[in-house]
Amino acid sequence: MDALIGKAIPQLEASLRFREARQAVLAANVANIDTPGYRSADLKFEDALGAAVTLSRSHPAHLSDAPEAGSAYRLELGPRGTRPDGNGVDSDRAMIQLSRNAGAFSDQAEVLARLLALARIAVTGEPR
């Protein structure tokens, strides 16, 4: 069935999982905006070779080529804080990252929804 639904759908699924995980990391930054000694964190998505993950390998029994949630994620800590209490969160940057990530998630969810609707048509051969 993968040939029918194409690569975009598994890629979007993987991206949504990643952005959801990243949102939690960014939320922790905001919650700890005033915590002494806390360092800002971010999440990156790459494979062991440091390259952007491409999804291939079609196995008939598998429906998804998307990597398992949690694979190829890398947690990145920001610099140590310069404030007297040691906190290292830049609140403006934290808010912007958070808003952007949430927006990307929403956009991708919408695109996935539409691709799935198209895939349903392709799979059943019927308009709805």
Partner 1 sequence: MKLSDIMDIAASGLSAQRARMTVTASNLANAETTRTPEGGPYRRRDVVFAARPLPGGFRGEIDRALRSVQVDRVIEDSRPPVTRYEPSHPDANAEGNVLLPRIEPVEEFTNMLSASRSFEANLLVLRKAREMGQAALRIGR
Partner 2 sequence: MLPGPIDGAAAASALRSLRSGGLEEKPSEVASFAEVAGSVLRGANQAQNEAHQQAQALAGEEGDIVEALLAMSRADLSLRFVVSLRNRALDAYNEIMRLQV
Binding stretches for partner 2 (CB under 8 A): 1, 3-6, 13, 16-17, 20, 60-64, 69, 116, 119-120, 123-126
Nearest to 88 by CA among 44, 43, 35: 35
Q: Where are the alpha helices (DSSP H) in the chain?
A: 2-5, 8-31, 91-124
Q: How far is the CB of 20 from partner 1 (least distance, A)?
A: 6
What mask, x for binding partner 1 by CB under 8 A, covers residues 63 to 102? ------xx--x-x---------------x--xx--xx--x
Nearest to 86 by CA among 40, 30, 28, 25: 40
Q: What are phi and psi of 73, to 5 degrees?
A: -95, 145
Encoded amino acid at 39, one letter: R
> Of partner 2, partner 1, none, which one sits near residue 4, judging by CB under 5 to 8 A according to partner kind?
partner 2
CA 105 to chain centre: 7
Q: Residue numbers of the site for partner 1 (CB under 8 A)?
A: 16, 20-21, 23-25, 27-28, 30-36, 38, 41, 43, 69-70, 73, 75, 91, 94-95, 98-99, 102, 105-106, 109-110, 112-113, 116-117
